[in-house]
Amino acid sequence: MSMEHKSARGFIIPIGGREEKEVNPRVLERFVQLSGGKDAIISVIPTASNLEDTGDRYVEIFQRLGVKKIYNNNISSRLDANNEIFVKQLTESTGIFMTGGNQLLLSTVLGGTVIAKMIRKRNAEGVPVAGTSAGAAFIPEHMIVSGDSGLIPRVGGVMIAPGLGLTNKIMIDQHFSQRNRLGRLLTALSYNPYKTGVGVDEDTAAIIDAEGNIEAIGSGALTVVDMSKVEFSSVASTSPGEAISLVGVKIHTLLSGDRYNTKTHEVIQLINKASEE
């Protein structure tokens, strides 16, 4: 395939967890819409979950949202992750959804398998990939596994592992405001200052297009951390457990409808909320 005909990468949609599923499921509705609406074929990947029924629950939720064809790719081992049946289902799918749970299950079960390659390939071909909670953490090249709560970045205050690699431009943290995770995202970014941090609240998603535009959707906020103008970081000379000095970090809080461009590091659209009060 020549470069000229290459389709744009599909949307990547990290969701902060606990997305509303019944009353006003606008995050999931948007994912369905981007996947083709009533004609969507959605693959659910419940690998991160230890619960037997997680995949089935999402199948029911997407059925309620009008999707007629949903696959439960119940991949729980590396053997499953090389299974041709699951590969075939992903090949047919117009949307891929990774559930919550433990993100290390995603990296250790899927990492380096045919399924991981297929998710990357389908996304490169234009298929949207969404993940909630652990599924959101797994989307970028570097995944935050665990870390300290609190506002202050500290050396050793975060554990990072390889993620799926759908983008290398951003780092994602989820349940963001609810679990007070600014400090650990700042710590992760202090090690990787060329990346943009995106903290995603519960029932909130970042809809990220091929051009690096991020749109907020849902009832919470996106916390965008811009490291592009950082003047100083003490991370290299700081002992484990001690606070990191960071100078020149820029932080934006975006609400539903607001947009940000990770290439220009500018807020490109702010929905004026004042008129709605």
Q: Do the strands 196-200 and 170-174 form a parallel or antiparallel pair, or are they unpaired?
A: parallel
pLDDT in tens, 48-63: 999 999 999 999 999 9
Percentage of the chain surpassing pLDDT 90?
A: 93
CA 69 – CA 259 distance, rounded (Å): 31
DSSP per position, 7-40: PPPPPEEEE-S----SS--HHHHHHHHHTTGGG-
pLDDT band at 7 (very low <50, low <70, confident <90, very high): confident
Q: What percent of the chain has pLDDT over 70?
A: 96
Section 2-25 average pLDDT: 87
Strand partners, 120: none
For residue 272, is it within any domain? Answer: no
In a domain, residue 2? The reply is: no
**Is 277 within the bounds of a domain?**
no
Write the CATH number for 210: 3.40.50.880
- Tell me which residues are annotated as active site: 133, 175, 202
The arithmetic mean of pLDDT across residues 149-163, rounded, is 96
Helices and strands in the chain: count of H runs, count of E runs:
7, 17
What are the backbone angles phi and psi of residue 14, rounded to the nearest 5°?
A: -75, 130
The whole-number pLDDT of residue 6 equals 61
Instruction: Give the closest residue to 139 by CA, choosing from 156, 157, 123, 159.
Output: 123
| pLDDT tens digit sequence for 76-101 | 999 999 999 999 999 999 999 999 99
What is the pLDDT confidence band of residue 5, given thresholds at 50, 70 and 90? low
Distance, CA of 222 to CA of 210 (rounded, Å): 19
Task: Give the pLDDT band of residue 271 (cuts 50, 70, 90).
Answer: confident
Q: Which amino acid is at 109?
A: V
List the structure tokens of 207: 């809809």
229 lies in a domain? yes
Confidence of residue 206 (pLDDT cuts 50, 70, 90): very high
Q: Is residue 241 in some structural domain?
A: yes
Q: Residue 55 — φ and ψ, nearest 5°?
A: -60, -45
- For 10, phi then psi, to 5°, come to -70, 165
User: Is 271 within a domain?
Assistant: no
Backbone angles phi, psi at 251, to 5 degrees: -125, 135
Confidence grade of residue 272 (pLDDT, cut at 50, 70, 90) = low
Residue 2 pLDDT grade (very low, low, confident, very high; cuts 50, 70, 90): very low
- Return the structure tokens found at 7: 């389709």
Domain count, the chain: 1
Residue 241 region by backbone torsions, left for phi larger than 0, else alpha for psi between -120 and 50, else beta? left
**pLDDT value of residue 1:** 40
- Write the single-letter amino acid at 153: P
Give residue-wise pLDDT tens across range 214-250: 999 999 999 999 999 999 999 999 999 999 999 999 9
95 in helix, strand or coil? strand
- Residue 189, both tokens: 């970014």
To the nearest whole number, what is the mean pLDDT of the chain? Answer: 95
The residue segments making up the domain with residue 165 are 8-255
> Which single residue is written with the structure tokens 């003047």?
231
Domain-embedded: residue 73 = yes
Q: Give residue for tokens 């659209």.
A: 269
- Burial zone of 9 (CB within 10 Å; 0-12 exposed, 13-18 middle, 19+ buried): buried
Angstrom distances, CA of residue 258 to CA of 75, 100, 197, 213, 223: 35, 25, 16, 10, 11
First to last CA, the chain: 51
In a domain, residue 3? The reply is no
